[in-house]
């Protein structure tokens, strides 16, 4: 790992906590919870991580998350991610979680939230690593189920900065969730949505116009629509791009085919993130390294990506300036 990339101060803005569960931790939690897994060993589970598309990944991702039952499980998952992030220069992170993946199995919403929040708070104290939490609705479930989840979350609304939208994209357009996103906006939450990962550019338009998102998660398919690119550039809408994820899920055949360089050249505010690092072969620094090598991105480009990550975050202006100053101080001594 290039020490410059590892140490580069950065924000991570597209990270599913459930996708940070390493196979070893899945097995350890399964054992202590008496949950049986359809894999004989850690290695057998890891060998199953060969995906053909988003759905083939999601099937295994939900199976892995099925071991999580207690507050401590959610703490351990979140803490393991935060330690890795801290070791890779992440100064601020805005993480997704999927409450429905757990409440559907009978786990209390509070157990999920409390475990995650306790770990985020410990990382703030121990590492100075700041964070925000984004509650994602599962788009393969109904709009009514999303609405019920928001109702369940509202007593804790100060714990979240935004709501988001993830899971199976094609066939579940943003328009399906317009009403629940309206409710979230009305109580002061920000909104983000996965769009244009496997789904068409129209889904990005819908996320902007119907869900009023502050950022697009993935968004790589925007390049198919020049009018959309013009708008995203004009409004400087951040895109949380996840290069290793895109290759693992066959959005691009090889890292060399990834369009991140073209996106930056077009003036889009792209950022680099890890998505589901345990499943896609790397945390955020490995993603920076993959595009540095695979696309031949210069050091200046990598710095631009790190700068974009703070600009695209939900940090207050004062906190953003503080983080950008840390980045400048790092560059001055690098």
Please give the residue ranges that form the binding site for ligand HPA (CB under 6 A): 16, 19, 54, 61, 166-167, 194, 197, 245, 275-276
- Please, which residue, 115 or 164, has the CB nearer to ligand HPA? 164
Under rule CB under 5 A, residue 12 binds Zn ion? no
CB of 249 to ligand HPA, least distance (A): 7
Pick what 309 binds: Zn ion, ligand HPA, none; C-beta below 5 to 8 Å, kind-dependent.
Answer: none
CB of 40 to ligand HPA, least distance (A): 25
Under rule CB under 5 A, residue 71 binds Zn ion? no
Q: 313 is written with which tokens?
A: 């975050």
CB of 239 to ligand HPA, least distance (A): 13
- Please, which residue, 286 or 307, has the CB nearer to ligand HPA? 286
What DSSP string describes 72-108?
HHHHHHHHHHHHHHHHTTEEEEEEEE-HHHHHTTT--
Query: Alpha-carbon distance 130 to 157, whole Å?
Result: 18
Contact set for Zn ion, span 221-280 (CB under 5 A): 275
Query: Alpha-carbon distance 130 to 138, whole Å?
Result: 26
Q: CA of 227: how far to CAs of 175, 204, 222, 223, in Å?
A: 20, 12, 9, 9
- Please, which residue, 101 or 303, has the CB nearer to ligand HPA? 101
Is 197 a residue of the active site?
Answer: yes
CB of 55 to ligand HPA, least distance (A): 10
CB of 195 to ligand HPA, least distance (A): 10
Q: Please report where in the chains the tokens 């509070």 appear, as a residue.
A: 110
CB of 327 to ligand HPA, least distance (A): 27
- Beta strand pairing status for 10-16 and 215-218? unpaired
Under rule CB under 5 A, residue 76 binds Zn ion? no
Pick what 286 binds: Zn ion, ligand HPA, none; C-beta below 5 to 8 Å, kind-dependent.
Answer: none
The torsion region of residue 212 among left (phi > 0), alpha (psi -120 to 50) and beta comes to left
What are the phi and psi torsion angles at 217 (to 5°)? Answer: -90, 125
> Any alpha helices (H) in the chain, and if so which ranges?
3-7, 23-33, 42-47, 54-65, 71-87, 99-103, 109-127, 143-153, 178-186, 201-209, 226-234, 243-248, 260-265, 277-280, 284-294, 299-311, 317-333
- Please, which residue, 11 or 327, has the CB nearer to Zn ion? 11
- Please, which residue, 242 or 303, has the CB nearer to ligand HPA? 242
Cβ neighbours for 178, distance < 8 A, ≥ 6 positions apart:
210, 211
Under rule CB under 5 A, residue 18 binds Zn ion? no
What DSSP designation does 223 have?
Answer: G
Which residue of the chain is nearest Zn ion when measured via CB? 275
Pick what 195 binds: Zn ion, ligand HPA, none; C-beta below 5 to 8 Å, kind-dependent.
Answer: none
Pick what 197 binds: ligand HPA, Zn ion, none; C-beta below 5 to 8 Å, kind-dependent.
Answer: ligand HPA
Which is catalytic among the residues 18, 197, 198, 206? 197
CA 179, distance to chain mean position in Å, is 23
Pick what 167 binds: Zn ion, ligand HPA, none; C-beta below 5 to 8 Å, kind-dependent.
Answer: ligand HPA
Q: Please report where in the chains the tokens 């969730």 appear, as a residue.
A: 177
Pick what 19 binds: Zn ion, ligand HPA, none; C-beta below 5 to 8 Å, kind-dependent.
Answer: ligand HPA
Long-range contacts made by residues 38-46, C-beta under 8 angstroms, separation at least 24? Answer: 38/63
- Please, which residue, 76 or 276, has the CB nearer to ligand HPA? 276
Residues annotated as part of the active site = 197
The residues that touch Zn ion, with contacts defined as CB under 5 A, are 275
């Amino acid at each position: 790992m290039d020490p410059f990339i590892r140490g580069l101060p950065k924000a991570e803005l597209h990270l599913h906590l459930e996708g940070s569960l390493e196979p070893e931790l899945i097995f350890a939690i399964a054992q202590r919870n008496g949950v049986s897994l359809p894999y004989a060993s850690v290695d057998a589970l890891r060998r199953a991580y060969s995906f053909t598309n988003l759905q083939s990944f999601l099937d295994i991702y939900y199976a892995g998350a099925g071991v999580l039952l207690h507050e401590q499980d959610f703490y351990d998952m979140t803490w393991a991610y935060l330690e890795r992030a801290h070791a890779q220069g992440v100064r601020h992170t805005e993480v997704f979680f999927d409450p429905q993946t757990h409440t559907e199995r009978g786990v209390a919403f509070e157990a999920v939230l409390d475990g995650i929040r306790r770990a985020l708070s410990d990382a703030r104290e121990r590492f100075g690593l700041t964070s925000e939490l984004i509650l994602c609705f599962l788009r393969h479930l109904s709009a009514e189920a999303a609405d019920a989840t928001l109702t369940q979350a509202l007593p804790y609304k100060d714990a979240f900065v935004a709501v988001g939208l993830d899971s199976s994209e094609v066939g579940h357009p943003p328009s399906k969730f317009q009403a629940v996103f309206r409710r979230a906006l009305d109580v002061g939450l920000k909104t983000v949505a996965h769009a244009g990962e496997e789904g068409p550019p129209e889904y990005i338009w819908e996320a902007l116009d119907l869900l009023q998102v502050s950022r697009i998660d993935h968004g790589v398919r925007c390049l198919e629509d020049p009018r959309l690119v013009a708008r995203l550039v004009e409004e400087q809408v951040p895109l949380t791009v996840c290069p290793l994820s895109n290759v693992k899920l066959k959005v691009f055949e090889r890292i060399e085919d990834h369009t991140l360089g073209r996106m930056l050249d077009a003036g889009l505010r792209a950022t680099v993130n890890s998505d589901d690092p345990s499943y896609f072969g790397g945390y955020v620094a490995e993603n920076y390294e993959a595009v540095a090598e695979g696309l031949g991105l210069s050091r200046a480009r990598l710095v631009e990506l790190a700068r974009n990550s703070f600009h695209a975050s939900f940090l207050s202006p004062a906190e953003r300036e503080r983080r950008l100053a840390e980045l400048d101080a790092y560059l001055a001594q690098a």
